[in-house]
Amino acid sequence: MAYSDKVLDHYSHPRNVGSMDKNDPNVGTGMVGAPECGDVMKLQVKVDEATGIIADAKFKTFGCGSAIASSSLATEWLKGKTVDEALAIKNTDIVNELSLPPVKIHCSVLAEDAIKAAIGDYKKKQGAHKPAGETVAS
């Protein structure tokens, strides 16, 4: 299979590889996929409490080159975005940016799911963390 230059670049030089403390209340963790399907993505975001902006993003992925590239790209895009902006990232954006062929579209879907799961986890933590009645946005 021929990979696009961008997939090859992310595969050869993956951005933001690593893990953050999943118990940190400002860190949201999303893990999607399954080993028997051949891809598992773990994506984490760390949100700046004061600004509500994603200050850091990390990933680890078990999967094909396109899955690695999709999640690597996602971490690049997440940094500097607000939580709501992050949720607006669509799998089709990833497909277009990486020129993924049709058989690899599920990799981009998985990356979108990972973003949503990570943000969802963060929001859940914040909801549990904040005293009742307090609003997150100001």
Partner 1 sequence: MSTEVKAPEGVKLPIYMDNHATTPLDPRVLEAMLPYFGAKFGNAASRNHSFGWEAEEAVEQAREQIAKLIGATAKEIIFTSGATESNNLAIKGVAEMYREKGNHIITCATEHKAVLDTCKRLEKYGYRVTYLPPGKDGLIDLDDLKRAMDDKTILVTIMAANNEIGVLQPIEQIGALCKERGVLFHTDAVQAVGKVPIDVNKINASLLSLSGHKIYGPKGVGALYVRRKNPRVQLTALIDGGGHERGMRSGTLNVPGIVGLGKACEIAMNDMAEESKRLTALRDRLKNKILAELDEIQVNGNMEHHLPGNLNMSFLYVEGESLLMGIHEIAVSSGSACTSATLEPSYVLKALGLGDDVAHSSIRFGIGRFNTEAEIDYVANKMVDVVKKLRELSPLYEMVREGIDLSKIEWQAEGH
Please identify every residue annotated as catalytic. 37, 107
The residue to which tokens 């953050």 are assigned:
20
The CB-of-57 to partner 1 minimum distance in angstroms stands at 15
- Looking at beta carbons only, is 55 or 109 nearer to partner 1? 109
Rg (CA), the chain: 15
Q: Which residues bind partner 1 (CB under 8 A)?
A: 3, 8, 11-14, 17, 19, 31-42, 60-65, 67-68, 103, 106, 109-110, 113, 117
CA of residue 111 relative to chain centroid, distance:
6
d(CA 73, CA 135) in angstroms, rounded, equals: 31
Between 1 and 50, name the residue whose CB sits nearer to partner 1: 1
Name the residue nearer to partner 1 (CB basis): 28 or 33. Answer: 33
Cα distance between residue 46 and residue 100, in whole Å: 28
